[in-house]
Amino acid sequence: MTKKLRTILVSIAAVAMLLVPSLAVSPVLALTNLQGGLTCGSNFDISGNTGCTPTGTTTDFNTLLTTIINIFSAIVGVIAVIMIIVGGLRYITSGGDSSKVGAAKQTLIYAIIGLVIVALAQLIVHFVLAQAVNIGG
């Protein structure tokens, strides 16, 4: 059991390490957009027309965040579907052994719970981003 738990934890850590660089991109993009917005108003004109529009909007960050979450959700969804298939195959090939049937049922239940969590996470994230855009203007 501890070997299986260790394998799961190592897998989760490996996936997290792969996702960390994608999370580091968003502050860099936000800083770049902020600097572009700050330098935009430096073209002084008596008429008040600077001739530029700032690009540092929150929609850029929201779009990036939504894209990252959609990609992550798609990956987790594909893994959950694969686990449902694996659980079904384990159930079919269990041969009536109660321990194998129980393990296959647990695999199916956990995969379905994973799909539900991914779907709810999508709803929550999209709701929060929509509220943030409404508050931000």
Residues 6+ away with beta carbon under 8 Å from 26: 61, 64, 65, 68
pLDDT at 7 over 90: no
Same structural domain for residues 96 and 122?
yes
Could you tell me if 51 and 64 lie in one domain?
A: no
State what percent of residues in the chain have pLDDT above 90.
22
Number of domains observed in the structure of the chain: 2
pLDDT in tens, 56-92: 555 677 788 778 888 888 898 889 899 999 999 999 9
Whether pLDDT at 106 is above 80: yes
Instruction: Report phi then psi at 122, rounded to 5.
Output: -60, -45
Are the beta carbons of 74 and 91 closer than 8 angstroms? no
Between 133 and 68, the higher pLDDT residue: 68
- 8 A C-beta contact, residue 47 and residue 74: no
Q: Are residues 104 and 126 in the same domain?
A: yes
Are 70 and 101 within one domain? yes
- pLDDT for 31: 46
